Chain A
Amino acid sequence: MKIAVVGKGGSGKTSVSGVLARSFARSGHNVIGLDCDTNPNLGLSLGVGDLETERLLSLRDQIDEGEQQHAHTWDDILDAYGTDAPDGVRLTVVNRIDNPEPD
């Protein structure tokens, strides 16, 4: 099942996503938390902490700077850009990071 969570910034989208993912996991489901935000914060609401959330971010930055190989399949992505969150949720960050560009 794929669930998209949307809303205005600050509406509590990420908190609801994190708690919902953990709730599904606690009721016995395999769960992937997919952080599609260009400002990825889902890690915090899933409970992986600030450092791990930052680590995932810098991983993405390296990809964009060409220091890491791009992953091409769904499984590669889960593997390479993911981390394990509490209750067995797998968190994956899929955003594009924006770097300042001249135009």
Chain B
Amino acid sequence: MIRIAFAGKGGAGKSSISGSFARLLSRRGGPVLAVDSDPLPGMAYSLGIAVDDHPTPDNVVVEGPEGGPKWVLRPGLDAAGFIDTYASTGPDDVRYLQFGNTWGHFQTLQRGQHAWSQVVREMDPAAWNVVGDLPGGTRQAMFGWAKYADVLAVVTEPTPKSLHVARRLLNITKAEWAPSQVVVVANRVDEDEDIERISNALDRPVIGSVPNDPAVVEADKLALSPLDHRPGPFVEAIEQLVGVVESTYDMDDQRATKGKP
């Protein structure tokens, strides 16, 4: 099973790419759970799921034991049960786990966060491919929110601002919990020089190159998934990316067995 998380500067295109990636991976047959840890909704749009705050009810968690997390899933509710009950189902059968209700009520948000984290940590690694979308910037990524992933894909545009953030994200390789692969995906690429600029600046292989596709800009304005609005060069590039990521798993010969405790 593939476990990949996308990170990068806000606006670099993480959500468009991760949502499309999740759906295309699902079309190849495996069960896909899309996990969005951004408190502001993003991935739902690109999955083609109506954006709404679906707060998980407060009673999914109870106060945790002393010294442990503040909130834990209530007795009798495990990760599998939580996904079954509370993950939305979107096009191409992708299941989607949103971070929590985000409209102002931070007490509620905190419970949702704990539930989300516990589910991602404890879910059966053999049951799902996991495709994650992290909020823009380095904060969550640096604090271990992508621990569930084997592959951390750093999405960058060929602009100095985007590359600054990407360079800092690559420091994650120094962390003890670092995903086994940290790779770069180039987005909004106009010309070959852009790729060169990115690989020179980051000194790391670029495993995907996603072209500047006006259809994605339109899809953004229409709140549609790139897969549901004039699919073209962007979607083709993501299809290739799915293939590349799958092949690295084949090489590792770790499919269906790998998962982090």
* Cβ 8 A contact of B176, one of A10, A98, A102: A102
Complex Cα distance, B164 from A69, in Å, reads 25
B11 touches A10 (CB 8 A): yes
Please tell me the number of chain B residues within 8 Å of chain A, measured between CB atoms: 24
Of residues 13 to 61 in A, which have CB atoms within 8 Å of B's CB atoms?
14, 37-41, 44, 50, 53-54, 57
**Chain B residues numbered 176-196 whose CB sits less than 8 Å from any CB in chain A:** 176-178
In the complex, the answer to whether A39 meets B138 with C-beta atoms within 8 Å is yes
Instruction: Decide yes or no whether B136 CB sits under 8 A from chain A.
Output: yes
Q: Is the CB of B164 within 8 A of A53?
A: yes
Main SS class of interface, A: loop
Given A9-B137, A44-B160, does the pair A101, B175 have CB atoms closer than 8 Å? yes
Tell me the smallest distance from the CB of A13 to a CB of chain B, in Å: 9
Binding site for A on B (CB under 8 A): 9-12, 40, 136-139, 142-144, 160-161, 164-165, 168, 171-172, 174-178
28 contacts across the A-B interface (CB closer than 8 A): A8-B10, A8-B11, A9-B11, A9-B137, A10-B136, A37-B137, A38-B137, A38-B138, A38-B139, A39-B164, A39-B165, A39-B168, A40-B164, A41-B160, A44-B161, A50-B160, A53-B164, A54-B164, A57-B164, A98-B138, A98-B168, A99-B142, A100-B175, A101-B142, A102-B144, A102-B175, A102-B176, A103-B143
Q: A37-B137, A41-B160, A101-B144 are in contact. List 19 more A-B contacts (CB 8 A).
A: A9-B10, A10-B11, A10-B12, A10-B136, A38-B138, A39-B137, A39-B165, A44-B160, A44-B161, A50-B160, A53-B164, A57-B164, A97-B168, A98-B139, A98-B168, A100-B171, A100-B174, A101-B143, A102-B177
